[in-house]
Amino acid sequence: MLDAGLRGKMLAVGVRGKMLAAGMRGKMLAAGVRGKMLAAGVRGKMLAAGVRGKMLAAGLRGKMLAAGLRGKMLAVGVRRKMLAVGVRGKRLAAGVRGKRLAAGVRGKRLAAGVREKMLAGGVRGKMLAAGVRGKMLAAGLRGKRLAAGVRGKMLAAGVREKMLAGGVRGKMLAAGLRGKMLAAGVREKMLAGGVRGKMLAAGLRGKMLAAGLRGKMLAAGVRGKMLAAGLRGKMLAAGLRGKMLAAGLRGKMLAAGVRGKMLAAGLRGKMLAAGLRGKMLAAGLRGKMLAVGVRGKMLATGERGKMLAAGLRGKMLAAGLRGKMLAAGMRGKMLAAGVRGNMLAAGLRGKMLAAGLRGKIQSDQSYSSALMEKSYRIS
């Protein structure tokens, strides 16, 4: 730095990012304007015109004109206008915002001055010069959902987002109805082919087959209903939305028939008292975890989100488990039990255990058994 004694002052040698010796922190050119860079023509350098955020008129990418207008590019004075050099991403010098060259380069827009219009050159992602936004070529180029039966291809019929009736996953009918799948005319209807993710031919929205595969819904025609196969994430065939089996598996809900209810206790968001990870107490209190002293477990005091009996927010049990905070009642304090990441019992924030066991994990706890407050819930 210069002898000016001002921190952050750099030489006026014109090097990128160097500030003047003007003696004002953060000041660039001798112009004394903050954020002004040298007119050396280096990328990222601003003009010495003294206008904040002004770049050189050198015509380099990202450089702004010396017109003195913040954020202005071309001398035309139009904000964010780029040169008509024809480089990718450059806009026309016509002064129309968002207009790209008619050079036919990918992503370039027509010089016709129509926003977001692409060439009819048939290049990927190019739109017709017909001036209709979002219209693709009828030539059946990529991006066009071809009638060839390829996944995600649209019909050459010229209907947007129309897929084939070929029965391929995610393909829509050639009926020409946007977003229509089955001939049933119901939106988002999939084939009854029995493939995962396929919906019933019953024409019910969001209905999956009763094939018994994970994520499949019942053929009962009830939205969001899964099979009673007992697989993880499977819902009961009871026909109640969001209901899981009473199999007692992780994330499984009771067949009590109450939406989002887990334990027979009938309380929302309650998990089994099985002591498995993510399981909450059968105490019937929402968001309450077991008092088994596992990481992330809250007290069985029965108050939502309460940790220590101290009643202080964010306090964990003094059981000496990793991630547990001190029972000292000071926020952010961990136990001095010698668990990694635990802070001193001295009550100083950010202090680690004096036990010298940093990086050690409590022996009486395993990651697998740790209960996370973030439990698997299905509403």
pLDDT in tens, 94-129: 333 333 333 333 333 333 333 333 333 333 333 333
DSSP 8-state symbol, 343: B
pLDDT at 168: 30
Q: Is 367 helix (H, G, I), strand (E, B) or coil?
A: helix
348 Cβ contact partners less than 8 Å away, ≥ 6 residues apart: none
CA dist 312 and 261 (Å) reads 29
Domain boundary among 45, 80, 115: 80
- Identify the burial level of 271 via C-beta atoms within 10 angstroms of its C-beta, where 0-12 means exposed, 13-18 middle and 19 or more buried: buried
Q: Which tens digits make up the pLDDT trace of 331-358?
A: 233 333 333 233 333 332 233 333 333 3
Domain range enclosing 3: 1-80
Q: Note whether residue 191 is domain-resident.
A: no
CA dist 248 and 116 (Å) reads 55
CA dist 90 and 151 (Å) reads 33
Across 140-152, average pLDDT: 32
Q: Which tens digits make up the pLDDT trace of 248-280?
A: 333 333 333 332 333 333 322 333 333 322 333
- Mean pLDDT across the chain: 32
| Residue 319, both tokens | 């059981």
Q: Note whether residue 322 is domain-resident.
A: no
pLDDT at 210: 32
Q: Which tens digits make up the pLDDT trace of 321-331?
A: 333 333 333 22
Helix residue ranges, H only, 150-214: none
Domain boundary among 51, 80, 109: 80
Across 204-226, average pLDDT: 31
pLDDT at 346: 34
Q: Which tens digits make up the pLDDT trace of 160-213?
A: 333 333 333 233 333 332 333 333 333 233 333 333 233 333 333 333 333 332
pLDDT at 373: 38
Domain boundary among 219, 240, 261: 261
CA dist 35 and 47 (Å) reads 10
pLDDT at 252: 32
286: confidence class by pLDDT, cuts 50, 70, 90: very low
Q: Note whether residue 307 is domain-resident.
A: no
Number of domains in the chain: 2
Q: Note whether residue 85 is domain-resident.
A: no
DSSP 8-state symbol, 325: B
Task: Give the amino acid at 260.
Answer: G
Q: Is the CB of residue 337 less than 8 Å from the CB of residue 328?
A: no
311 Cβ contact partners less than 8 Å away, ≥ 6 residues apart: none
Q: What percent of the chain has pLDDT over 90?
A: 0
Nearest to 378 by CA among 243, 257, 279: 243
pLDDT at 363: 31
Q: Note whether residue 209 is domain-resident.
A: yes
Q: Note whether residue 239 is domain-resident.
A: yes
50: confidence class by pLDDT, cuts 50, 70, 90: very low
DSSP 8-state symbol, 368: G
CA dist 34 and 2 (Å) reads 18
| Residue 73, both tokens | 């590019």
Q: Note whether residue 165 is domain-resident.
A: no
pLDDT at 127: 33
pLDDT at 67: 32
Q: Note whether residue 74 is domain-resident.
A: yes
360: confidence class by pLDDT, cuts 50, 70, 90: very low
